């Protein structure tokens, strides 16, 4: 990637080499029920252990993906400096790893969320409530490849909830990009992959195979920092990170990425091509990179943006690169 990375782990091969060496294989998509309150679960992953001919010692095959499970948490409205000035966020950054030059796509919220799934804002420029699109996106690509996924929304009343707001006032559809794609919302099986966050909690305490390969988490409007202070949001984030990193799915080579949808204030900086511009973007934001065996305090100093995160996930699961994520010059995360 040509990127400068300080304190890079030494016990593992560079991630680009790992990805290149993996074989492409499909994992059966989790079967989801109808519009009920069931939780989609990942199908069992066939054992990678094989018996040698003649009853010799068993050997272990290479894993299908560099990260069998990828978690993404999207927080709200906080610039890079403000995030590192928030004690809880700074503690997580220095305990795990973080980016120094990562940029959001635009303002306001919704186009950033859409760009994380589609590689484009798809022409959306506001927090509209009915601007649905029929476009290729990460969830449908994962489904086509047989990779299980689920999106967990805190304060969502039930699976496949399609109203823009919930009676509690804590769920907002503008922070749930999955429901904006017609090819998800009109397909009951796919739409049922959008679940209340409470359905993820029991999965994290069980076997790794019970957790979808790709997990998206949107906190409620207080816990994401939209309606409440960065300090309150940081406390929630610390607890959520602890639950994920305690899970078998994360411990077994998983990856957790935490990013903020956009910067605060008047920060319109963004990554334009291979350079940072002071206008046209969504601001300089912090992104946390949380993986087992990654040295504490590692800083990823290459230029990155929301399309970089999408590309990272696409390459990990061997699916096509959507929109701006296909740029050859675009760096990725480990």
Q: Are strands 214-218 and 149-153 parallel, antiparallel or unpaired?
A: parallel
What are the extents of the domains in the chain? 63-326
Q: How many CB atoms lie within 10 A of CB 296?
A: 10
- Predicted confidence at residue 127, as pLDDT, reads 98
Which of left, alpha, beta for 209 (phi over 0: left; psi -120 to 50: alpha)? alpha
CATH architecture of 63-326: 3-Layer(aba) Sandwich (3.40)
Q: How many CB atoms lie within 10 A of CB 10?
A: 7
Q: For 161-269, list the strands marked E by DSSP.
A: 194-196, 214-218, 255-260
Helix (H) or strand (E) holding 188: helix 188-191
| pTM higher than the cut 0.85 | no
Going residue by residue through the chain, which has 334 residues, state the pLDDT in tens, using 9 for 90 and above: 333 444 443 333 333 333 334 333 333 333 333 333 444 433 333 333 333 333 333 434 456 899 999 999 999 999 999 999 999 999 999 999 999 999 999 999 999 999 999 999 999 999 999 999 999 999 999 999 999 999 999 999 999 999 999 999 999 999 999 999 999 999 999 999 999 999 999 999 999 999 999 999 999 999 999 999 999 999 999 999 999 999 999 999 999 999 999 999 899 999 998 899 999 999 999 999 999 999 999 999 999 999 999 999 999 999 999 999 999 999 999 9
Q: Crossing angle, helix 306-316 and helix 109-118, to 10 degrees?
A: 30
- Predicted confidence at residue 108, as pLDDT, reads 97
Cβ-based neighbours of 44, under 8 Å, separated by 6 or more: 209
Instruction: Identify the CA nearest to 286 among candidates 94, 116, 102, 86.
Output: 102
Q: Any bridge partners for residue 299, and if so which?
A: 6, 98
What's 87's DSSP letter?
Answer: H
């Amino acid at each position: 990637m040509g990127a400068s990375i300080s304190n890079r782990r030494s016990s593992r091969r560079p991630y680009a080499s790992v990805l290149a060496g993996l074989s492409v294989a499909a994992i059966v998509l989790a079967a989801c029920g109808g519009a009920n309150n069931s939780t989609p679960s990942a199908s069992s992953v066939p054992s990678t252990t094989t018996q040698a001919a003649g009853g010799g010692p068993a050997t272990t095959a290479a894993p299908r993906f560099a990260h069998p499970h990828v978690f993404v948490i999207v927080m709200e409205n906080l610039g890079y400096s403000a995030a590192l000035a928030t004690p809880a966020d700074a503690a997580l950054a220095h305990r795990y790893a973080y980016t120094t030059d990562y940029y959001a796509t635009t303002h306001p919220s919704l186009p950033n969320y859409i760009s994380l799934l589609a590689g484009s804002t798809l022409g959306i420029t506001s927090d509209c409530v009915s601007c649905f699109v029929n476009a290729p996106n990460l969830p449908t690509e994962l489904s086509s490849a047989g990779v299980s996924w689920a999106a967990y929304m805190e304060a969502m009343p039930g699976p496949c909830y399609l109203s823009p707001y919930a009676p509690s006032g804590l769920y907002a559809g503008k922070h749930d990009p999955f429901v904006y794609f017609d090819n998800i919302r009109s397909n009951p099986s796919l739409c049922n992959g959008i679940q209340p966050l409470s359905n993820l909690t029991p999965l994290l305490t069980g076997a790794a195979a019970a957790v979808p390969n790709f997990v998206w988490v949107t906190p409620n409007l207080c816990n994401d920092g939209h309606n409440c202070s960065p300090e309150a949001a940081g406390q929630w984030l610390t607890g959520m990170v602890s639950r994920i990193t305690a899970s078998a799915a994360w411990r077994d080579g998983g990856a957790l990425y935490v990013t903020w949808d956009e910067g605060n204030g008047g920060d319109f900086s963004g990554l334009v091509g291979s350079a940072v511009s002071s206008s046209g973007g969504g601001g300089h934001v912090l992104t946390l990179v949380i993986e087992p065996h990654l040295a504490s305090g590692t800083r990823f100093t290459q230029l990155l943006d929301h399309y970089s995160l999408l590309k990272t996930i696409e390459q990990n699961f061997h699916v096509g690169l959507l929109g701006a994520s296909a740029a050859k010059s675009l760096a990725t995360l480990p």
